[in-house]
Structure 1
Amino acid sequence: MKNTLKGRASKIILAALMAAGTLGFTGINAEAMSSMPSTGSRPAMSMPPSSAVQGEDVDYIVSEDADTITVRDKRNKEVTIKKHPKRVICAYNSYLDLWYKAGGEVIGKVDDAAEKPVPGAENAESVGSVNQLSIEKMMSLEPDLVILSPAFKGHLEIGEQLEENGIDVLLLDSNNFREYTELAEVYTKINGRDDLYKTLVEDVVKEREDIISKVPSDVKPKAAIFFASIKDLKLRTSGHGVGEMLKDLGTVNIADGTGDGDLIPFSLEKIIEEDPDFIFVQTMGSDSEAIKETLKREAEEKESFASLTAVKEGRYIVLPKDLYLYKPNYRYAEAYMGLAEILYPEVFRK
């Protein structure tokens, strides 16, 4: 049976956009802030056209019937997944919490991320790390569905092996808000939990659009996003994740248009030249001390760094990983609100 709800998330986003108004505010008297506020258990809102996947149709669902759902995955391949799987492995922590919120459970997962615990998944067996999966361990668990991430070459290779052994494989992504709504719909349908669609998608779209509609239209604060790892420091563009959220909230990313891809080489000279109003820092990796050393070596210990407006005025902010490194998923509104309160405290901290 052809799925009559195909593109449902897209229609909800469009409806929210049409209903949203834009309020004008003046001034950007930002307050210093070293940690993110919590604004509730659910995040949300819709996406302006500029934030949509550029020129790309991201409707994942092709069709469904009572027992299966067919999706077009990130390999541009149509795959049919059996509904109500009983033995599921999730090999990417950023998807694990959403899978549980959509009514699913797992018997296998990758090594836990301390910053993103998932209640209910504590007893699932480890199948390795996200970068080094054990196909032998996976096969021994006799899964009927394995959730992988197309962002990792190793996942794509293992996915082919699993499919050759008759195991359903889901290779979808959610690099931006639009893709999140599609992925959430797929998960609820696989688990037979259409009743959760409103909470995970409709409510989230509305809440997110609510926040964006209150963003002042007459100010465009400049922002830089540092992406720090043990190895090096890079600048993030507005392609997805935090970059997309900040763009939706009216900022101008100083890295946009300066290189290809989501991450570009770090240039302190560029930072000094642009002198952004805000500097947001993402950290990648478990060795926090080594990451701090990277930040010091590449930026903080440079004499010119202290002269930056964002540094002098307390707007050099390290973002928490659970909302801004891992996928925020159903907490999107919380993530947007955390940034909005930093950017426009006179509007969002009333």
Structure 2
Amino acid sequence: MTDVGAPPPSSSPQSIDAIPLKHPWRWLAAAAIIVLVGLFLYGAATNPAYGWSTFGEYFFHERILLGVFNTLQLTIYSMIIGIVLGVFLTVMRLSDNPVLSSVAWVFLWIFRGTPIYVQLAFWGLFPTIYQNIQLGVPFGPSFFHLDLQDLSIPFVLAVIGLGLNEAAYMAEIVRAGIMSVPEGQMEASTALGMSWGKAMRRTVLPQAMRVIIPPTGNELISLLKTTSLVTAVPYAFDVYSIATREIAARIFEPVPLLLVAAAWYLVITSILMVGQFYLERYFSRGASRKLTSKQLEALALAQLPQVK
């Protein structure tokens, strides 16, 4: 009598003569695409309107490199503000306090509902709208006075505008990541004696990072490209402004300078995508969708018919 659940005697399976399906249309489509791409590349390489000599001359120009450095600064500083403020907004949004949750909702409503260019233009006009900032006793003495029109702070205003807009989107990304973790995880951590903050750091956030990292990487890449709109502040020292407004306007060749700016955006974006890939792989440890050989074997044994 065979034991219940025991696997049948091992026997070498018969080989299956599988004939792969032929897909001639795939090869034809691939060949057509290769031909079209080749024709486009050949036309772009031989078209004098692209100005490849000018492209090579200004790709590592000192003014372009300064613009790249300023663009990276805008991206990094704004993203730091967006992440930190986004976490605070998430805590406020999930709070049981109706005042905190309402304030967070109104912030998200305003900054997600208005165009980023309009917001940056508003921050550019901020020194005109609020010419003087005073802190003190109402109808009494003033302890602090600042004349904004005497300051030249377009870079700071650009960072603030980009950071506040990014915070609205990061708040929703962080909230979605936290909400993806089952509530039982927090309850189990609390039952083990962890405080709310420690449970968030040790239990909830490590699991939520699998959901938070991919959209955060996309937001960082999007923010990098959004820095080209800081001319609304106005701030004209990013790579796009220097390439198109300064150099191209001087040499009257806009196409190669646009290609220079686009190429630098592609280089930086590619580096960010590589970093995002490794971060996703790090926080996805233990959550692979692929089954190991032992798991597949156990699954096969569980599905075998039981012999009595």
TMscore range, shorter length: under 0.3
TM (norm. structure 2) is 0.21
Structure 1 or 2, whichever has the larger Rg, is: 2
Greater helix content: 2
Greater strand content: 1
